[in-house]
Chains A and B, each alone.
Chain A
Amino acid sequence: MKFLINSLLEIQNKHGYLPKDEMERISVEFNVPISRIYSIATFYNAFSLKPVGKHVIHVCKGTACVMGGSGVFEDTLKQLGILDDEDFTYQPIRCFGACSLAPVVVIDGKVYGKMTVSRLKKMVPKLFEDKDKTSKGDEDAR
């Protein structure tokens, strides 16, 4: 049994975004109007119509994490120039479900608990150095 949303997620994970021609292909495959595919692509947080950068940084803005101080991480990333750098995509997320290890930051799929400003300031510039490395999450390794 095929599900539209699962198929779109596969494309998003493979390409890092939803290319227009892929969306049109799905429209034909599922016999669903392109207007609905477009609606879906712009409704759900998981989808992006534009490619993501080489490095994806998620800061958890869930309740426990904000209380734990994740609110300043966006400022830190701004200060480091991440928000303006095309090689990086920053996305706030609401809750990875690791709340007892707040605040949580996920960099290229790897979950870091009990993050601090000073640690973030040390880790992120290293990513600038690895700009040539393609880093995808090591979820598949588990």
Chain B
Amino acid sequence: MAIKIEVDGKNYEVKKGKLLDVLIDLGFDIPHLCYHKAIGSYGACRLCLVEVKENGDGWRIVTSCSTDVKEGMKVRTKSQRIWELRKGVVELLANHTSSEIVKELASLYKIEVKGDKKCVLCGLCVNVCNLIGISAISFENRGVERRVNAPFGIPTEFCVGCLACTNLCPTGAIRFENGKLMVGDRVLSEHKLLRCVRCGKEVLTERHYEKLGVKDILCENCKRLMQAEKYFNSKQL
């Protein structure tokens, strides 16, 4: 069922869903750090601001990730107000953190990046770990002391090393180095890496292997080659 909305003066027919997804599909560039379709709307970064007008009420600022499209909705993706407020949020990030994506955002507003930490506390790593059902890591403390950590600050054995978290991290704050999952200088978990039986390349962690229950450890390349060989050999017979 198509929903009619107006964005920056133009009319569009869109599918049901969150405004952020709809706007991105339409080609609009709406900055966002903490939203992921699989996880849903979390509301931590406050970057995806837009203005909406519904039912004869006035324009109001909302986060597009948490707003459902509704028939007749009017949207503004650019305005003085959005610029001011988003700039304010970016400036806070730039004052306290530093990463490629923050530098990019900061340059849009001609803001100097003065921060040092990488983590912006978007929550994607913690949320995806919960979504998968492992919940190895979580937030410790509250307010400015809030950080991603393993329970008790001790490397956790619950982490299987699936690396879903590092895949989603927008800043590279959470990373896998030398068998260790790390944020800043904290080690969240330690892993033994298993190698591809064919070429010796590191493929996955021991705990992940055990959890997946696969038979042979093969890297992507070798897996493809072996499939091809099998196919070729079966054709030959």
Contact = CB atoms under 8 A, between A and B. Distances in A.
A and B touch in the complex (CB under 8 A): yes
A42 B141 contact: yes
A38 B151 contact: yes
Interface residues of B, number: 14
B176 to A, nearest CB: 18
A20 interface: yes
Interface string B3-29: 000000000000000000000000000
A36 interface: yes
A140 B17 CA distance: 54
A57 to B, nearest CB: 23
Contacts of B135: 33, 35-36
B152 interface: yes
Contacts of A35: 135-138, 150-151, 156, 158
Q: How large is the interface on A (under 10, 10 to 19, 20 to 34, 35 or more residues)?
A: 10 to 19
A6 to B, nearest CB: 20
Interface in B180-231: none
Nearest to B147: A42
B152 A38 contact: yes
Contacts, number: 33
B141 A34 contact: no
A35 B156 CA distance: 9
A39 B140 contact: yes
B183 to A, nearest CB: 14
B30 to A, nearest CB: 30
Interface string B137-167: 1111110000000111000101000000000
A3 interface: no
Interface of A: 20, 33-39, 42-43, 49
Interface of B: 134-142, 150-152, 156, 158
16 contacts: A33-B135, A33-B136, A33-B138, A33-B158, A34-B151, A35-B135, A35-B138, A35-B156, A36-B138, A38-B138, A38-B151, A39-B140, A42-B140, A42-B141, A43-B139, A49-B152
